[in-house]
Amino acid sequence: MSRALFIIDVQNDFTEGGALGVDGGAAVAADTTRYLERAFGDYDVVMASRDWHDPEGDNGGHFAQAGTDPDYVVTWPPHCVAGTAGAEYHPGLDLSHVTMHVKKGQGEPAYSIYDGEVEGGASDGATVSAVLEERGITEVDVVGIATDYCVRASVLDAIEHGRHVRVFTDLVAGVARESSDAALLEMGHAGAVLVASDAD
């Protein structure tokens, strides 16, 4: 049995004070760091993703057009623009146990880590799916931001790809309470195990 950890989009723009700051985002960074300190040995791959958008254009309709309000469902204020501080990992997330970095969203909406590409190292340019296949990963644990968007999409994709998925409910944060609760229910119905990170 081989296990991967997905750390979804723990970035400055998705934490308090960022362009799309989520309440509890900084706590997810700090608590994930503490979790990794004790649990990194359980993982064959620790994969962290970043939303990483082009500075020009609307990234395939993902950014609201200038002069129009985002709907916060399909269109969003500009966020995680490549090369800006907002796109960087939150400083509370210790990256020393992260073994693979994934960037997603260049020029298009990309909620799921499966839409991204590995950057750097021996797997540079590979898809997440290819890396998990090659390494025989059957189990995936998921933490990060936001519960109701990129965590949700990544979890559903991992299940669709045949992985057993756990979501650590104490290590995720969402845009809104109602949609986060609905997303957790949906992930559970799809087959994800919803559990606290210190459950075992």
From residue 69 to residue 108, the character string flagging contacts with Zn ion as x (rule: CB under 5 A) and all else as - is: ------------------------------------x---
φ and ψ of 158, to 5 deg: -60, -40
Q: Which of 13, 31, 104, 115 is catalytic?
A: 104
Give dist(CA 88, CA 20) in Å, integer: 13
The footprint of Zn ion on this chain (CB under 5 A) covers a number of residues equal to: 2
Binding of residue 148 to Zn ion (CB under 5 A)? no
**Which residue in the list 31, 51, 115, 150 is annotated as catalytic?**
150
| Interface positions, 36-65, toward Zn ion (CB under 5 A) | 51
Closest CA to 167 of 150, 181, 152: 152
Helices within the chain (DSSP H only)? 25-39, 128-134, 152-160, 177-190
Structure tokens at 26: 């900084």
Q: Rounded to the nearest whole angstrom, what is the least distance from the CB of residue 19 to Zn ion in the complex?
A: 10
Residues 101-120, mask of contacts with Zn ion (x by CB under 5 A): ----x---------------
To the query of whether residue 80 is one of the catalytic residues in this protein, the response is: no
Judged on CB neighbours under 10 Å (0-12, 13-18, 19+), 34 is middle
Q: Give the catalytic positions in this structure.
A: 9, 104, 150
Binding residues for Zn ion (CB under 5 A): 51, 105
